[in-house]
Amino acid sequence: MEKVSVGILGATGAVGQEMIKILEERKFPVGELRLLASARSAGQTMNFNGKPIAIQEANDQAFNGLSIVLGAAENNIAERFADAIVKAGATFVDNSSAFRLDPKVPLVVPEINPEDVRKNSGIIANPNCTTIVTTVAVNALTKESPIETMVVSSYQATSGAGAAGPKELMAEVEALSKGEKYEPKVFPYQIAYNVIPQIGGEQFKGYTSEEMKLQNEGRKILHLPDLRVSCTCVRVPVVRSHSVSVLLTTREKISVERARELIAKAPGCRLVDDLANRQYPMPLDTSNQDIIFVGRIRDDLTCDKGLNLWCCGDQVRKGAATNAIQIAELVVKQL
């Protein structure tokens, strides 16, 4: 495969660092790797394939000569540089939420809608991490019979708030073990030994911005414009890997046995579903890898066409960095 020039915007953040690691792991055909960040990081070095690469300050000229730019920065940074990236002739695969609901921008999970990559005009959006974990888990079911509704509860790891999230969790645990106080900085309340049932600010009828993403993004990814989702997002004292409980209803009834068969064969999924032997998805088992584990599949007791399932996936890898690089791999095939 012909090598391409790749840039990472926001290279020093948690997702940017993971992107560097995954480019190495997947042997992405990198000719040049350009690491871009703020002025305060410029001149520092990061390693790629055993060699140090100097970080450059992100500016409008920094993208010239690149074929692909992986976005690992916040919304305002993505919006600030998107035009410059496209004008430079690069394809911008952006992990922020800035362009996800733009009708002109494809929103892609490669296991689900890879064909949408071809519709891009220079920008391709990477979905929200919980959206990726959930849609990969249920995609095989909606192909069997379209999903009409989902009632979802997510149990989101502290690393979903960035590298500072797990550090705060660990610092609180240490302080509490010594009988000391710790003033939270990353989360609004103590996260150690606690759960916080709010991620994001209120957006719609008491639902937060994080909770609305699964419906709004899921409709676009799954090509289900009428999909209805009621979601509750909870921050939990877990370091890495999000967990999601899903009650879904389909147009036609799917049996538990058929659902297990479909998920066992689904790209990006692993069936882990043996209650008698205590086999089910857990964050510890799904961290630092890219497969979504799915289990606890059972009939819903309130709806004849309902199924319950539980899934877990690493939100830093498959929920962010790996999914973006998988999109970039599809782009490379078109260059």
Q: Which residues are catalytic?
A: 129, 242
In this structure, the strands spanning 68-71 and 91-94 are: parallel
Q: Which residues contact 256 (CB under 8 A, 6 or more apart)?
A: 297, 298, 299, 307
- Sign of the CA dihedral 133, 135, 136, 140? positive
Query: What is the three-class DSSP state of 166?
Result: helix
Q: How many helices (H) and strands (E) does the chain have?
A: 8, 15
Strand bridging mode 292-299 / 269-271: parallel
d(CA 305, CA 251): 7
> What is the 3-class SS of 123-134, one letter each residue?
EEECCCHHHHHH
Q: Where are the beta strands (DSSP E) in the chain?
A: 4-9, 30-37, 45-48, 51-57, 68-71, 91-94, 123-125, 147-156, 202-204, 207-208, 228-235, 242-250, 269-271, 292-299, 306-313
Q: Could you tell me if 117 and 92 are in contact, meaning their C-beta atoms sit under 8 angstroms apart?
A: no
Q: What are the structure tokens assigned to 323, written together? A: 């999914």
